[in-house]
A and B are shown apart, each in its own frame.
Chain A
Amino acid sequence: MAEEKEPLFSKQNRSLLTDPLDDNNPISVQVLGICSALAITVQLKPAVVMSLAVLFVVIASNVIVSLIRNLIPGRIRIIVQLLIVASLVILVDQILKAYAYDVSKELSVFVGLIITNCIVMGRLEAFALANGPWKSFLDGVGNGAGYALILVIVAVFRELLGSGKLFGIEILGHKAKTIADSTGLYALGYENNGFMLLSPMALITVGIIIWVQRSKNRKLIETH
């Protein structure tokens, strides 16, 4: 078959990886997976863990579905995809509970909600069912990374402006009860913006990202 002679990182395969980072980003262009982007981006750490979990689930489910794509009966393909995604999510949840208990408590229901993350099912339907495992793997990596990218950007802004920290480390100085005891920016009377910690600001941050992205990448602007 001609397809198998294609180099592993052909131009087409490379675009599978890079497209979802910008031109076809699952969050900022396809507007999928917004729910979790709002919920777990208050701090950077859970955002990173959530990204890794989604990355794992989307890659693994893409590859598995792609491997058995010729065996899956058409009539029950959605339920089979759901089954595979759900099992992978339970796997992630169990592993987090055993090895990263704090993070698993923090993410609580959102790990389970990866099942409902449209990115995962969307990629299975749109890509893995019609393409080989290697391409599906790349597509999974690309889309997972595209999701992770936005999540991390949003989380950086929200944690930095909302609590003055990144990964729980005080970046803008230490805020004590009085200005005199504070250090860094807080000594100048700076206050954290508590609004950044609330969900609406995540939506607004995502909106700003979409705006910046479209002003740089003009082909994304809808013309109608």
Chain B
Amino acid sequence: MNKNSNAYTFIFAIIIVTVIAGLLAFTATSLKDLQDTNVKAEKMQNILGTVGVTDVSRDDAQAAFDQYIKKQLALTNKGTVDEKTNAFNINLKNEVKKPEDEQRYPLYIAEKDGKTFYVVPLYGAGLWDAIWGYVALGEDENTIVGANFDHKGETPGLGAEITTDWFQAQFEGKKILDESNNFVSVTAVKGGAKPGDEHGVDAISGGTITSNGVSNMIEERLAHYLPYFKNN
């Protein structure tokens, strides 16, 4: 057969593409369960991390999660609990596209050393792509006890710094309500927050848009939980 003929080239291309596509599809399907388990365990580690349970390996994540997380609630916009929805399986990425009254807001209630914590998952937009994270509130439903953030494609060294400890640690002890209990959230302040500012943290130099993204994300998400906190 003439190897340089068009027919040969087409047939060769079709065969090799089919073989390779089949192989890859098989691999992807057979590894999917393992990959999903990893992603799930990481989510649990992140949630636990905000309430100070940080030394959990991925293998132990499920056990630790069951130990500390007492309730997983799917809240409605009005602060009531939707019993039908599994909070852990809520994918915020899809959820934020729905109208507000159709969205379900997952809330994890953790208990550690006799204290109750409320962990709120976050999802928002950075400069280039999605950013997300978790913020844990203390028993007073006001003081932040821990936060962590992650991102898909922020600039390394600039916006991507939101994943670093120094940035996340700043949120500890900040308050989301002012003295008269109005919601003010916590904002990343360009140029640095004033000392003693209960509602501000230092933004990242050169990462202003990502920092603003974090501020907006926290404000937008937490606002939806206020009705629930008011009633409980």
A75 within 8 A of B: yes
* Neighbour of B16 across the interface among A80, A90, A94, CB < 8 A: A80
B20 and A87 form a contact (CB under 8 A): yes
Interface residues on A, range: 10 to 19
Given A83-B17, A97-B31, A101-B58, CB of A90 within 8 Å of CB of B8: no
Chain B at the A interface: SS class: helix
Which residues of chain A are near B17, meaning CB under 8 Å? 83
B35 and A73 form a contact (CB under 8 A): no
Chain A at the B interface: SS class: helix
* Neighbour of A75 across the interface among B9, B34, B42, CB < 8 A: B9
B38 and A74 form a contact (CB under 8 A): no
CB distance from A128 to the nearest CB of B (A): 15
B9 and A73 form a contact (CB under 8 A): yes
B27 and A74 form a contact (CB under 8 A): no
B12 within 8 A of A: yes
Kindly state the separation between the CA atoms of A84 and B58 in the bound complex, as whole angstroms: 33
A-contact 0/1 string along B180-224, CB 8 Å cutoff: 000000000000000000000000000000000000000000000
CB distance from B18 to the nearest CB of A (A): 11
A74 and B34 form a contact (CB under 8 A): no
A87 and B23 form a contact (CB under 8 A): yes
Q: Which residue of B lies closest to A105 (CB)?
A: B42
Which residues of chain A are near B42, meaning CB under 8 Å? 101
Given A73-B3, A73-B4, CB of A98 within 8 Å of CB of B9: no
A188 within 8 A of B: no
* Neighbour of A94 across the interface among B8, B28, B58, CB < 8 A: B28
Q: Which residue of A lies closest to B153 (CB)?
A: A109
Which residues of chain B are near A91, meaning CB under 8 Å? 23-24, 27
Known: A73-B12, A76-B9, A95-B27. 18 other contacts (CB 8 A): A71-B3, A71-B12, A73-B4, A74-B3, A76-B13, A80-B12, A83-B16, A87-B20, A87-B24, A91-B24, A94-B27, A94-B28, A94-B31, A94-B35, A98-B31, A98-B35, A99-B34, A101-B35
| A:62-112 near B, CB below 8 Å | 71-76, 80, 83-84, 87, 90-91, 94-95, 97-99, 101-102
A101 and B4 form a contact (CB under 8 A): no
Kindly state the separation between the CA atoms of A151 and B58 in the bound complex, as whole angstroms: 28
Which residues of chain B are near A98, meaning CB under 8 Å? 31, 34-35, 38
Kindly state the separation between the CA atoms of A41 and B24 in the bound complex, as whole angstroms: 29
Q: Which residue of A lies closest to B58 (CB)?
A: A101
